[in-house]
Structure 1
Amino acid sequence: MIKRIGWGTLVGALMISLGLPWVFVLQGLPFNLPTPTAQLWHYPGIASALRDSLVVGLVASCISLFIASIIIGRDATHGKPKTNDVGLTFAAPHLAFAIAFLWLFTPFGWFDRVLPFALPWFEQQSLVTLITILVFKETPFLVVLGRQQLAQLPYRQWILQGRSVGTSAQRSWWLIVFPAWLKAMRLVLIAVAIYTVSVVDVAQVTGPLNPPLLAPLVVNWQLQFDPLSQQLAEQGTWLLMGLAGMMALWVIAQELVLRCLMSARVGRVVAQSYEAAVALATSIIRRASLIALLGVSTAACIALIALTFARGWFYPSVLPLEWSIASWSAHNDLLLQRLGTTLSIGLVVAVLATMAITALREWQRHHRYEINDAWLLAALFVPQLSLVVAWLHSDWSQWFSNDTASVVMAHFWFSFAYGYLIYAPAERAVPQTHLTLGRSLGFGYWRSWWWFKRPLLTGALAHCLLVTLLVSVAQYVPTLLLGAGRTPTLTTELVALSSGGEWQLPAMFATALWLLALVSLVLTQIISKEPEL
């Protein structure tokens, strides 16, 4: 079928589907700039919202990079990594993990009942709580993507070269491999930094409220229809893009500074005691981080499931008065409806995005022409909220008049970028010799790909499907605003339920989200044969 359609038509349609949303962005981006005299600056608490948003973005992204660098460093210096060590946390939906974290660690939570001392750092909604949750979620993401980027570098030869001149493997990692790895991770780090500074759903549930961060504030303005709120939303959109630009510059500056620091230390003689102390410290940090990731994720998953069956779990009781399935029986219809909507949209998006990514990569390899990754990942370099607000002011709704089609298109666009991050490095590492062999035997291009090249990419394709599905399932802002509330999913329902004081119903939806992700992860591991997460 693809052969009959032709490369030009196929890739042309794909590039139109990727470029059309940008046309709507340019058309609908409001030119109501936050000038010094703008109404935005008179809004109470806007300075605090800006400051707190920057603090969250800077601190969360820096700590995540620090921990991920230490874990990747161990992979580089000790052979093949333990590829399943962050899988549980990586697959956990942000919102589900956040709900469980709040139940476990905040005042009147479960650990507050068990431990003889309080945990005063984690308030129900605070900067510390939000930053901690983002670190727990973004660190595994950086580890998974970092391992893929590391595999594209000749790091073993570099470390051997360093050791041949008397430099330890640990020091060779930091001085030789780390700068190159950091450069390869630049686009990923920019995407993470922009996400942390503009996150909406997790910030609404766990972030400060008085005032909230800038991104939730813009969503609240957008959902109100009076002229002043719409004006504030338009100006806030530009302000959010300004914060994203600052985070991108921060990532680039951080990279340059770290690379200069590492270059300046090359050739210096270091005492063995100092080097041993650094190695011990990094080993402790790595072990503690992995234990924390696995331990907290496991406890969070168990806590969510326990909450759904608990009745009468009042403070300070460690266990509930009784266990019951009454809550599941009372709300199973609503839960199944939301699960069906979430899964159907997610599967359609995952299949379409994976097929599109595969076709685009094969076109590039076939024509020996590499499109710069930055163009294909551009959706990750602009705050998602800013893009959606621009679409709302454009002709988007005329092209996608059906709410479900509008949501699917938005999910596809964002899922494509994340899926490409996962699939492209793995595909680049596979030579074309097997495909060429198939064609020499008289098979067509895609038949050769299926029988000769696809088996080498089974793991990459499975993980691309997994990531695109998880991204679609986790989408909140596009589903809420473009769906106009008529395409409710598990994620949108969970955010709405979390605004109240009840724990059990949000826990049910969070459990369904997490179990959906876990089942997807297990199936991915089975299909890929050799786990990579």
Structure 2
Amino acid sequence: MGHRANQLLYWVIIGGFFIPLLLGLLGVILPSFGIDPALGSSQFSLVHWHELLNQPEFWSGLKLSVLTGIMATVLSYWFASSLVVCTYQTRWFQRLQSIITPILSIPHAAITIGALFVLSPSGWLVRMISPWLTQFDRPPNWLTVQDPEGIALIIALVIKETPYLVFAMAAALSQLQPNKTLLTTRLLGYDSITAWHFTLLPQLFKLVRLPVFMVLAFNLTVVDVATIIGPNTPSTLAVTLLRWFNDPSLSLRGQASAAAMILAFSVAACIAIWLLSERCYSLIRKRLSLLGQRRSALRWTTLAGMLGALVILSLTILALFVLPLWAFTRRWRFPDNWPSSFTLDNVFRAGQNLIELSTQSFSLGLCSSLISLGLALVLLECERLRPKQKFAVIIVFSAILLPQITLLFGIQVGLLYLDWNGTWWSVLGLHTLYTLPYVYLTLKAPYLAFDQGYLEQANRLRTTPTRNFWQVKVALLKAPIGAALAIGFSVSMAQYLPTLIAGEGRINTLTTEAVARASSGNRKWVSVLALAQAILPLICFYMATLLPRYWTSWRLTLKRVLC
């Protein structure tokens, strides 16, 4: 592909991303100030802001969102960094990476449903200690999930985000020289954990800032996880906004738009607070390092974080293990530790509905990940040619750093105006909007590190640059491309709010159905949905590791057969 054509595609992609973002922001900013053509209002007004600030539910929801979001992010980072520090240069580090890889592929809703079945008053944890320790013959009247303080919500978010941050840190370590640094500090008499705090962790945090900010923005604005396991009265601000936007009375739309803007500002403020806290911690670390102590007190925080990480990993394994148990259970009475009998009837009873939901989810995930891969390749090729051109990075990652609830309802206004709402294509477009940043981030490092000498040599031997690009460069990058496709597929599978808003109930997926049924009390049906939601990305991740290994031999065999 020529340089000019590549640049043209680059700006088309940027425009395709910028326009929805602009429409999304205008769609919430203008109604918040009284300018809403749908209601026939075109005059500037602050009435909606006054109504919002006098709404007790808004303040309680905002407080809950900020506290749970920050706490979940701090715990996730603490546990992930402690896990990396304590296991690095041991055999457990490689095992840890092999364990968290399948966990990363499982959507938030599926793990949250499993956590719900573990932590609830009739869940597995209570069953394990009943009745021999608790004397419970029936589930206790405890608020272990959907508690007003949001503790269960924090646990569910930490369960999902800790493996992601471990993965990001492990990938970032390849850009440093940890072995040489640790060897040098040990020769100076420092113990391993203290050496990490004084040398490697400050460098590591700068490399994982973007993943941490993505986690922080998600935790503050998550809807599906908060709906399943979060508090109801009051609910988090994102869940409250969803209810206000879906209210039959359009009079709440302006108030909801104002609240959505405040939620976006809250994300920006929390990121600023995080950066300020990092600066304060850096000053404390420097003061401790100047004391000359070879065993710093910071090591105890790491050991405590390691213990917390082990607890979270144990809860994650229990949450994933309980899903197939409930999916194939015929009868499981409280306080039995195990089901009394198993059956396949739950899956067969789901039947046609499960097939339709799985097909819909698979088609959206496959198409959005393939489109995102093509767009990411164009963006990265342009970035390789012009390294200082960072406009694409800003636009692409704005989609995931800005709250979904803020952008999507503004985009919905544009879809309604163009009569594009409720179609499979509109859902695909929104899935691609959120899939591309993750595909781009996964593929960026290996793509930019590729040795262009291979492609230049191929161009000297055969003057077909486009064909050489696909047959040489893309072929050599098949492993990271497979990983990017798998991550894109799992991200698409996890999209709840984009599917709900663009599909308007006419396009259902495993995620939307699982979240809708999570509070129904029918654990068997919900488990079947969550299990199917978890299995599809797992299969995709397995294929992503299998295909690069055998792709060349299979391609050559097929070529010989066809010729």
Q: TM-score, normalised by structure 1?
A: 0.90
Give the conservation status (yes or no) of the 8 Å contact 1:28–1:390.
yes
Match of 2:62 in 1: 50
Alpha carbons of structure 1 residues 46 and 422: separation in structure 2 relative to 1, 3 Å: same
- Separation (CA, whole Å) in 2 of partners of 1:401 and 1:231: 21
Alpha carbons of structure 1 residues 321 and 395: separation in structure 2 relative to 1, 3 Å: closer
User: How many angstroms does 1:369 deviate by?
Assistant: 4.2
User: Does residue 1:305 correspond to 2:324, yes or no?
Assistant: yes
Q: 2:80 aligns with which of 68, 76, 85?
A: 68
Q: Which amino acid aligns with 2:114?
A: A
Give the conservation status (yes or no) of the 8 Å contact 2:7–2:382.
no
Give the conservation status (yes or no) of the 8 Å contact 2:396–2:437.
yes
Give the conservation status (yes or no) of the 8 Å contact 2:194–2:298.
no
Q: What secondary structure does 2:477 align onto?
A: helix
Match of 1:466 in 2: 486
User: Does residue 1:205 correspond to 2:228, yes or no?
Assistant: yes
Match of 1:266 in 2: 289
User: How many angstroms does 1:146 deviate by?
Assistant: 1.8
Q: What secondary structure does 1:45 align onto?
A: helix
More deviation, 428-437/491-500: 428-437
Q: 1:125 aligns with which of 146, 159, 162?
A: 146
Q: What secondary structure does 1:311 align onto?
A: strand
Q: Which amino acid aligns with 1:48?
A: S
- Separation (CA, whole Å) in 1 of partners of 2:141 and 2:172: 39
Q: What secondary structure does 2:354 align onto?
A: helix
Alpha carbons of structure 1 residues 159 and 244: separation in structure 2 relative to 1, 3 Å: same
- Separation (CA, whole Å) in 2 of partners of 1:153 and 1:6: 36
Q: 1:357 aligns with which of 365, 368, 376?
A: 376
Give the conservation status (yes or no) of the 8 Å contact 1:237–1:389.
no
Match of 1:340 in 2: 359
Alpha carbons of structure 1 residues 42 and 238: separation in structure 2 relative to 1, 3 Å: same
Match of 1:223 in 2: 246
Alpha carbons of structure 1 residues 366 and 436: separation in structure 2 relative to 1, 3 Å: farther
Mapping of 1:255-294 within 5 angstroms? 255-271=278-294, 274=295, 282=302, 285-286=305-306, 289-290=309-310, 292-293=312-313
- Separation (CA, whole Å) in 1 of partners of 2:98 and 2:325: 25
Mapping of 1:24-103 within 5 angstroms? 24-31=23-30, 32=32, 38-74=50-86, 81-82=94-95, 83-103=97-117
Match of 1:111 in 2: 125
Give the conservation status (yes or no) of the 8 Å contact 1:149–1:425.
no
Give the conservation status (yes or no) of the 8 Å contact 1:145–1:422.
no
Q: TM-score, normalised by structure 2?
A: 0.86
Mapping of 1:358-507 within 5 angstroms? 358-371=377-390, 373-394=393-414, 397-398=417-418, 400=420, 403-507=423-527
Q: What secondary structure does 2:337 align onto?
A: coil
Task: Deviation per CA, 1:383-439: give whole Å up to 9, x if none.
Answer: 011000111233575174562111111110111112222221232333323223323
Match of 1:189 in 2: 212
User: How many angstroms does 1:381 deviate by?
Assistant: 1.4
- Separation (CA, whole Å) in 1 of partners of 2:532 and 2:318: 16
Q: Which amino acid aligns with 2:5?
A: G
User: How many angstroms does 1:156 deviate by?
Assistant: 3.8
Match of 2:561 in 1: none
Match of 1:134 in 2: 157
Give the conservation status (yes or no) of the 8 Å contact 2:25–2:407.
no
User: How many angstroms does 1:24 deviate by?
Assistant: 1.4
Aligned length: 525
- Separation (CA, whole Å) in 2 of partners of 1:281 and 1:240: 32
- Separation (CA, whole Å) in 2 of partners of 1:164 and 1:438: 47
Alpha carbons of structure 1 residues 312 and 56: separation in structure 2 relative to 1, 3 Å: same
Give the conservation status (yes or no) of the 8 Å contact 1:222–1:230.
yes
Q: What secondary structure does 2:110 align onto?
A: helix
Give the conservation status (yes or no) of the 8 Å contact 1:110–1:318.
yes
* Structure 1, unpaired ranges of 5+: none
Give the conservation status (yes or no) of the 8 Å contact 1:479–1:487.
yes
Alpha carbons of structure 1 residues 326 and 4: separation in structure 2 relative to 1, 3 Å: same
* Structure 2, unpaired ranges of 5+: 34-45, 135-139, 551-563
- Separation (CA, whole Å) in 2 of partners of 1:49 and 1:41: 12
Q: Which amino acid aligns with 1:65?
A: Y
User: Does residue 1:153 correspond to 2:176, yes or no?
Assistant: yes
Q: What secondary structure does 1:266 align onto?
A: helix
More deviation, 101-110/261-270: 261-270
User: How many angstroms does 1:368 deviate by?
Assistant: 4.3
Match of 1:254 in 2: 277
- Separation (CA, whole Å) in 2 of partners of 1:103 and 1:218: 27
Q: What secondary structure does 1:377 align onto?
A: helix
Alpha carbons of structure 1 residues 101 and 395: separation in structure 2 relative to 1, 3 Å: closer
Aligned residues with identical type, % of pairs: 23
Q: What secondary structure does 2:98 align onto?
A: coil
More deviation, 515-524/260-269: 260-269
Give the conservation status (yes or no) of the 8 Å contact 2:366–2:489.
yes
More deviation, 439-448/226-235: 439-448
